[in-house]
Amino acid sequence: MHRAPLPYGRGSATELSRDRQGAAYSGAALQSVGFGHPSAMSNVIVLGAQWGDEGKGKIVDLFSDRFDFVARYQGGHNAGHTVQVGERKFVLKLIPSGVMHPHVRVVIGNGVVVDPQALLDEIEMVEKMGVDVQKQVAVSNRCHIIFPFHRLIEKVSESRADRVAIGTTSRGIGPCYEDKIGRRGIRMADLLDPQIFDTLYGYLADDKRILANAFHKGDALNLEEARDQYHHMAEKIRPLVCDTAKLLNDAIAAGKRVMFEGAQGTMLDVDHGTYPFVTSSSAAAGGACTGTGVAPTKIHGIIGVSKAYITRVGGGPFPSEDVGPDGHHIREAGHEYGSVTGRPRRCGWFDAPLLRYTAMVNGFDTLIVTKLDVLDDLEKLKVCTGYRLNGQPVEAMPATNALLAQVQPVYETLPGWCVPTAGTTRWDDLPARARDYLAFLEEKTGVEIGCVSTGPERMETIVRQGSKLERLLEL
Ligand code: GDP
Ligand code: IMO
Ligand code: MG
């Protein structure tokens, strides 16, 4: 395993450290919190604490240096995880963001839905960058397969006049998961057996033909052509496919370290997010176990990633959205345009009640705050510290989007720092007001901030000395 020094500077502050319940403790106390033998705390989940695009790709790429495996557990090519190494910037959709480290084996777990064409395109992209795909990439034999008719069904459903569009990525993700849960789906192992595939595809295609005819879209299906293409693509993917649950569990038993990479964010989780304006998978921490076949007892830390503000793509309630000049400024300064669809992201202020909720359902040990630099030029920064409904404080995250759309955000305003933080690598080099802002976020969320990102590149990162994150990752 690699143990080279990581390419960022460290801060020295431990005064802000808090435990998960929000109680302050000193740096000395922090040092005394024992995690046991290092190899007994080696597997962690890194996931989005908001509505996606928190900068997971950068963080997973940066810290996967410390791991032997990086495993994706849900979602599909609706994800867009940006990794920037020097001048080179690329967006990973299916392949985990650790792939740029030659010693890291990356795994597409059983919880992921795979469009074979999207996977082959991405393989071609990373091969051009020098990745040894045969050696590094493993794909679960239990992944469900996305077909062209899934995209067509999604298009029909999203464009129905009598429905509020979710604003999906149009990748066929939802309809594929529908077939999975409906027990009609086709898995990677089925695709690799031509006879089984033809039989299952025949059943599924019949279902879709009936549906398409009902919507007068039957002509658009091309079911036979797609079947032949899938046979062809299966042969290209075959060498990468294995029982990844066994691969990961054997590796863990042999003392190897696994990082689990979430896609989307907790507020897009099908159970815990802003349903129905969510994706169709379990983006929250629990999904890491069902989506890879690794037991909860084998996972030792959960790391949330959040922007210093918040964004969302697609429809649905967004209490702290700013549709005025500040929201516009954040969008332009943060290049907040979707990495998959190019859509402008909706922008707003850091939402502490939302973060408290995602910390609760995930059990965050620590939080990584990204894109602090995007706030550099703003003179005043608002933070949503609570919600009110009909004049009363809202204690729990509303379950319906109708209610969430009605809540009134309660804001506190902090002074901006108005000096550049972009590229800062040491905590002590941050302006005092930026440190105060981060301390405020810690206080209002009750989660320790272990790392701050000040730019898209690996180097542009601050790790808090003495933090739980540092101990968790053995930095
Ligand atoms: P993901 O889906 O969570 O991996 O995030 P995306 O890649 O979709 O979006 C995050 C965007 O912010 C990407 O363009 C990153 O290169 C960029 N980014 C990540 N961290 C920082 C940061 O600290 N500062 C700035 N300015 N950009 C960042
Ligand atoms: P990463 O992993 C942000 C959103 C879509 C839409 C909803 C459902 O890059 O953070 P879907 O196509 O999944 O059925 O769309 O979820 N969405 C994302 N938003 N980041 C993502 O991924 C997203 N993946 C899906 O915009 O609102
Ligand atoms: Mg993204």
Q: Render each residue's pLDDT in the chain as its tens digit; 475 residues.
A: 444 445 554 443 333 333 333 332 223 222 222 333 334 458 999 999 999 999 999 999 999 999 999 999 999 999 999 999 888 999 999 999 999 999 999 999 999 999 999 999 999 999 999 999 999 999 999 999 999 999 999 998 899 888 889 999 999 999 999 999 999 999 999 999 999 999 999 999 999 988 878 877 767 778 888 999 999 999 999 999 999 999 999 999 999 999 999 999 999 999 999 999 999 999 999 999 999 999 999 999 999 999 999 999 999 999 999 999 999 999 999 999 998 889 999 999 999 999 999 999 999 999 999 999 999 999 999 999 999 999 999 999 999 999 999 999 999 999 999 999 999 999 999 999 999 999 999 999 999 999 999 999 999 999 999 999 999 998 8
- Report pLDDT for 217: 74
CATH architecture of 144-240: Orthogonal Bundle (1.10)
CATH code, residues 9-24+38-142+243-473: 3.90.170.10
Contacts of 299 (CB under 8 A, 6+ apart): 43, 44, 45, 260, 288, 289
Residue owning the nearest CA to atom 7 of ligand 1: 82
Spell out a b/e string for 349-386, using b for 16 or more CB atoms within 10 Å of the CB, else e.
bbbbbbbbbbbebbebbbbbbbbbbbbbebeebbbbbb
Residue 81 bears catalytic tag:
yes
* Nearest ligand to residue 78 Cα: 2
Cβ 48 under 6 angstroms from ligand 2: yes
Closest of 67, 97, 71, 75 to residue 84, by C-alpha: 97
Contacts of 34 (CB under 8 A, 6+ apart): none
Best mutation site among 47, 53, 82, 95 for ligand 1, i.e. most ligand atoms within 8 A of its Cβ? Answer: 82
- Report pLDDT for 339: 86
Cβ 373 under 6 angstroms from ligand 1: yes
pLDDT tens figures, 109-163: 999 999 999 999 999 999 999 999 999 999 999 999 999 999 999 998 899 888 8
- CA dist list (Å): 301 to 13, 27, 385, 447: 21, 20, 26, 13
One DSSP character per residue, 27-56 reads: HHHHHH----SGGGG--EEEEESSSS-SSH
Which tokens belong to 103?
């010693």
Instruction: Provide the 8-state DSSP code for 365.
Output: S
Where in the chain are all domains bearing CATH 1.10.300.10?
Answer: 144-240
Centre of ligand 3 from the C-alpha of residue 122, in Å = 15
Cβ 453 under 6 angstroms from ligand 1: yes
Let me know: does 453 contact 371? Beta carbons within 8 Å.
yes
Closest of 102, 191, 91, 202 to residue 146, by C-alpha: 191
Where in the chain are all domains bearing CATH 3.90.170.10?
Answer: 9-24+38-142+243-473
Centre of ligand 1 from the C-alpha of residue 237, in Å = 30
- Report pLDDT for 111: 98
Cβ 311 under 6 angstroms from ligand 1: no
69-72 vs 258-261, strand pairing mode: parallel
Long-range contacts of 320-323 (CB under 8 A, 24+ apart): 320/348, 320/349, 320/350, 320/351, 320/354, 320/382, 320/384, 320/409, 320/411, 321/346, 321/347, 321/348, 322/347, 322/348, 322/349, 322/382
Which tokens belong to 472?
């968790």
Single out the catalytic residue among 77, 81, 101, 272: 81
How would you classify residue 5: left for phi > 0, otherwise alpha for psi between -120 and 50, otherwise beta?
A: beta
Cβ 274 under 6 angstroms from ligand 2: no
Centre of ligand 3 from the C-alpha of residue 365, in Å = 22
- Report pLDDT for 340: 84
Residue 232 bears catalytic tag:
no
Cβ 75 under 6 angstroms from ligand 1: no
- Nearest ligand 2 atom to the CA of 78 is 24
- Report pLDDT for 372: 98
Let me know: does 231 contact 200? Beta carbons within 8 Å.
no
Q: What is the dihedral of CA 267, 249, 146, 206, to 10 degrees?
A: -120
3-state secondary structure of 470: helix
Centre of ligand 1 from the C-alpha of residue 311, in Å = 11
Cβ 174 under 6 angstroms from ligand 1: no
Q: Which residue has the tokens 């209002």?
A: 444
pLDDT tens figures, 18-61: 333 333 222 322 222 233 333 445 899 999 999 999 999 999 99
Q: What are phi and psi of 300, to 5 degrees?
A: -115, -5
Residue 43 to residue 281: CA distance in whole angstroms = 22
449-453 vs 461-463, strand pairing mode: antiparallel
Residue 364 to residue 355: CA distance in whole angstroms = 10
